[in-house]
Structure 1
Amino acid sequence: MTWEDFVEEFKEKYFNTEVMEAQQDELSNFRQGNLLVAETVQKFEQLARLCPHLFSSERDKVRKMMKMFRSDLAVVINSGPYPPTTVVDCVSRAVRAEYWVGQNREQRAKFFQEKREEKAQAKQIQARPSQAPPPKSRGGPSGQNNNRQYGSNQQKRKWNAGGQGNQ
């Protein structure tokens, strides 16, 4: 007798088919409703353990989980560059989505505005040229008055003597 034959015979003898079908229907129709994500996942896992033949792969399980979550959470869970492919990823995203959907819109708007400002500041810092030391003066030997903004001392005296600089 093979393992598959044993399992089939065991189910026929010890499991009521009507109860099994009722559990399959419950799993097929299960929705989150007002439950928290953690409660929803726990209930889903209980039902899924009783009906493992409904999920041929983990991807099938993820698809069913996505259908059971509330639509406002499912939108957030599916947002991003790629959809969840594992149960762990799906549950993790659902918990985060539940948190964000539950937050006050103003708090979320403030949070994302701060993030945008941080990114803008980071871009500005990256766009600035590196701060090089100031250029060296092109004047004569050190100690001489190389400040060309005011001209020579002789020009200053002429300017002041004419009364034009003392206003």
Structure 2
Amino acid sequence: MHKLPGLGSVLYLHNSAAQVITEALPPGLLVTERTLAPLLDIHWLMATSAVTDDGPREWLECMDRFGRPRARLHLLPDTDYLAWEALMTMHESPLQPPGSPDMPMLRPDSARIVNFRLREVAGLTVLERNATSELSPLGHHVAAHIAHAESVSLHP
């Protein structure tokens, strides 16, 4: 969680209706909006990539402790590639997340370009979206294509 602000701009996809599992939430960590709540329940990051008609894509599947997908972070041209690699390296594990072939796939219903920010408030760590997210025209184009391919609308 503490490495997310270093990424810069990423495309964040999640399902608004996804339930947050309250018994496993990390102590002392809060989010400022419900759309970020799935990130509180992340125990595994699975790096994924694909070559599409638009070119290569790379993203992180964010999974809970049961191996269920909770959110997805897509690499954009404006994302800090070194921070992305550091985040993936930090979460490398010889163990695969639990799960089964019949585990439901993430069906996102929301996509937004996000720059994460952490701040301390009364001894608590607060994860929020940075109010300003600078993104190049190419980054906007890539994000719009990914959102379209995922069949979700891109929110500001």
The TM-score by the shorter chain falls in which range? under 0.3
Higher strand share: 2
Relative contact order: is structure 1 or structure 2 higher (C-alpha 8 Å, sep ≥ 6)? 2
Scaled by the length of structure 2, the TM-score of the pair is 0.19
The structure with the largest alpha-carbon Rg is 1
- Structure with the higher helix share, 1 or 2: 1
